[in-house]
């Protein structure tokens, strides 16, 4: 029986595969699935795991992709507005394939958050709860990489833009969330649990101050109305609908929807999650390394 990972060519899915291997899970027990055959081939070449194509729009392909699954990690898809239907098909396929546990990556406070991103996660959670397949829900908070990936722009403009007000975000690194998924996939006693996962909480003003500390140059947080922030993102080249979703998420952050004071992430991974200072230092150091 195998551990099946969806979205294996994405950042989180690939990190889970790497951490499963580091934890001693044989490559032969891991099945990496995704839509991009070329990228899947690279995953297989680099790790030795089994690869299978999984198209969330095609139920038949999903049943085959999940064949022999003991436990399945359902990494939430990225297409807002189409997530729920794809997740539902994947859950049905996992049940048809005989999986004994499905682990789903949701969003922090999915049951109460009003941001657009939470809606399809909430619907997926409900579908899991009304089914007959044992499940674990990992409500992942914001990625620190959402901010550190902006390092070149932050350096250029000496500013972080947002619409989060004084809201606090409980963020952690992708590697932290991958470690939590690995702990659940390889551990026992998690069935039926819903974990609220987040690290150190901070405001975007505090985040800007940390960037300033590491970079040695002033960095300010500029708070904008939600509509103005969406327009700014669209003006920078993001698709308008995606810009609206991100601005809406910042509005949710302002309402406290991306904050948790629970220590579920620390308890699952057995250590303190990555801090913003650590993440910014790593990103800054990496940006100083010449490309090869």
d(CA 259, CA 112): 12
pTM: 0.96
Mind listing the pLDDT tens digit for each residue in 99-145? Answer: 999 999 999 999 999 999 999 999 999 999 998 899 999 999 999 99
Q: Which residues pair with 53 in a beta bridge?
A: 34
Given a cut of 80, whether residue 289 has pLDDT beyond it is: no
What CATH number did the domain enclosing 185 receive? 3.40.50.720
Band (pLDDT 50/70/90 cuts) for residue 248 is very high
Say if 69 falls within a structural domain.
yes
Percentage of the chain beyond pLDDT 70 is 98
Given a cut of 60, whether residue 38 has pLDDT beyond it is: yes
Say if 192 falls within a structural domain.
yes
Mean pLDDT for the chain?
95
What domain range includes position 82? 2-141+173-198+262-269
Band (pLDDT 50/70/90 cuts) for residue 291 is very low
CA angle 123, 182, 58 (to 5 degrees): 45
Q: How far apart are the first and last CA of the chain?
A: 40
Mind listing the pLDDT tens digit for each residue in 249-267? Answer: 999 999 999 999 999 999 9
User: Can you point out the beta strands (E) in 86-141?
Assistant: 101-107, 135-140
Say if 222 falls within a structural domain.
no
Tally of domains within the chain:
1
Mind listing the pLDDT tens digit for each residue in 163-174? Answer: 999 999 999 999
Percentage of the chain beyond pLDDT 90 is 90
pLDDT at 61: 84
Report the candidate in 22, 23, 47 with the shortest Cα–Cα distance to residue 31: 47
Given a cut of 90, whether residue 79 has pLDDT beyond it is: no
Given a cut of 90, whether residue 60 has pLDDT beyond it is: no
Say if 62 falls within a structural domain.
yes
Say if 160 falls within a structural domain.
no
Say if 58 falls within a structural domain.
yes
pLDDT at 92: 94
Say if 225 falls within a structural domain.
no
Cβ(268)–Cβ(195) under 8 Å? yes
Given a cut of 80, whether residue 69 has pLDDT beyond it is: yes
Backbone phi, psi, residue 246, to 5°? -65, -40
Given a cut of 70, whether residue 175 has pLDDT beyond it is: yes
pLDDT at 290: 53
- Provide, for the chain, the percentages of residues in helix, strand and coil under a 3-state DSSP scheme, each rounded to the nearest 5: 50, 15, 35
Say if 124 falls within a structural domain.
yes
Report the candidate in 251, 238, 228 with the shortest Cα–Cα distance to residue 150: 238
């Amino acid at each position: 029986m195998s551990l099946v990972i969806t979205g294996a060519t994405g950042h989180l899915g690939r990190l889970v595969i790497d951490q499963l291997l580091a934890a001693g899970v044989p490559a032969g027990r891991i099945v990496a699935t995704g839509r991009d055959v070329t990228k899947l081939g690279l995953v297989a070449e680099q790790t030795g795991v089994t690869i299978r194509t999984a198209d969330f729009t095609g139920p038949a392909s999903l049943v085959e992709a999940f064949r022999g699954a003991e436990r399945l990690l359902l990494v939430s898809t990225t297409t807002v507005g189409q997530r729920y239907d794809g997740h539902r098909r994947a859950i049905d396929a996992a049940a048809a394939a005989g999986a004994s546990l499905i682990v789903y990556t949701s969003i922090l406070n999915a049951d109460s958050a009003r941001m657009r991103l939470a809606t399809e996660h909430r619907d997926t959670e409900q579908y899991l709860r009304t089914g007959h397949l044992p499940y674990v829900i990992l409500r992942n908070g914001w990625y620190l990489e959402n901010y550190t990936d902006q390092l070149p722009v932050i350096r250029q403009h000496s500013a972080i833009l947002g619409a989060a007000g004084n809201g606090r975000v409980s963020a952690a690194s992708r590697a932290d969330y991958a470690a939590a998924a690995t702990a659940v996939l390889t551990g026992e006693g998690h069935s039926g649990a819903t974990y609220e996962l987040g690290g150190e909480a901070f405001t975007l003003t505090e985040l800007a101050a940390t960037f300033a500390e590491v970079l040695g140059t002033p960095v300010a947080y500029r708070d904008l109305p939600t509509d103005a922030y969406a327009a700014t993102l669209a003006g920078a080249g993001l698709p308008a609908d995606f810009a609206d979703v991100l601005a809406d998420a910042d509005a949710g952050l302002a309402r406290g929807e991306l904050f948790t004071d629970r220590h579920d992430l620390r308890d699952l991974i057995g250590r303190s999650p990555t801090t913003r200072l650590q993440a910014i230092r790593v990103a800054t150091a990496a940006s100083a390394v010449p490309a090869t």
